[in-house]
Amino acid sequence: MTKVLVTGASGFIAKHIIRELLEQGYEVRGTVRSDTRKAEIDALYPDAAIEYAMLDLTADDGWAEAMAGVDVLMHTASPFPLADPKDPQELIGPAVDGTLRALRAAQAAGITRVILTSSCVAIYKEAGKAPEARSTRDNWTDPNADYVSAYEASKTLAEKAAWDFVAEHPEMELTTVNPGVVLGPAMDTNYGASLELAEQFLDGSLPMLPEMNMPVVDVRDVARMHVGAIAAPESVGFRFPANAGALSMIEIAEAAAAAHPDRKISTRKAPNLLVRMMGLFVPTMKQVSRNLGRNLDVDGSDAEKAFDFTYIPSRDAVVASTTFLADNGV
């Protein structure tokens, strides 16, 4: 039976990946940083024989033991900040080093199949591409551009490091899954910052909305893509943007408002000038202001063909998120 090592196993996406793996009959070993995180997963799958390894992305200890007996590495772990740090290296360093640490350990253990969780943020801000143009998997974000955040740079550089590594080790078979904004229901209430955007719509903390769009995908489809890649040798060597269709901030708000008429969800557009002015003083608005006038849509159609599924519509993913949150007291 194929054994899959899932790094960052207690993450929002990873918990769904583990569910998909178990349902399809794979053996699972998950990496976690504490017994508390292990307990979260055990609570979801009390009858599953999941193995665990205690690891830290920033340390070498334990990686060799974690890889022993594993057939597939599924590297989902990466820093996910609420806001950009003052020093971008606080994000970039752990993201790149953690990815290379996992790949080196896999290569040393003789593991050749790797599925890496990247992001659409590593795609949609290519230098020289017309800002209004839609992106494809052939595009790469410029990590040095002044309109690119530390998080976007970290995901881009980590993915580039992975592709460079497998180029140097041709026995390694890499597929990357590049999700947009991942919505949908969480497996439990320990979802960290992953549903922060949905929370902000639901609790009315966004009185006005910037004029920008974003690729959107349901977490269940992201998990399906990761697991589908194991049995799809034709996916080796390719990036797969995960995007059911871009939505504007106003369209997201409209979907949430229609599903929750009892909530005061604003669908008002914020003037671009106001957004730019706020970006001068409010750190969270700085990146938003950089996205004005830029099309962040990415073509995700390759994934449906490669993994033989149909995306959950973006608006349904929005509603699944907000419904989960509302049902759990948000």
Q: Which residues are catalytic?
A: 155
Of the candidates 122, 148, 147, 146, which has an alpha carbon nearest to the alpha carbon of residue 135?
122
Strands 3-7, 72-75: pairing kind: parallel
Tokens of 174: 């890499």
Three-state secondary-structure class, residue 240:
strand
Element (H, E) at 251: helix 249-259
| Alpha carbon of residue 108 to chain centroid | 27
Q: Which residues contact 222 (CB under 8 A, 6 or more apart)?
A: 13, 16, 17, 177, 179, 182, 242
Residue 33, judged by CB atoms within 10 A of its CB (0-12, 13-18, 19+), counts as middle
Neighbours of 302 (CB within 10 A): 16
Q: Which residues contact 126 (CB under 8 A, 6 or more apart)?
A: 135, 139, 140, 141, 142
Of the candidates 239, 236, 226, which has an alpha carbon nearest to the alpha carbon of residue 302?
239
Asked if residues 47 and 41 have their Cβ atoms less than 8 Å apart, the reply is no
Taking the C-alpha atoms of residue 269 and residue 286, their distance in angstroms, rounded to an integer, is 17
Asked if residues 102 and 111 have their Cβ atoms less than 8 Å apart, the reply is no
Residue 310, judged by CB atoms within 10 A of its CB (0-12, 13-18, 19+), counts as exposed
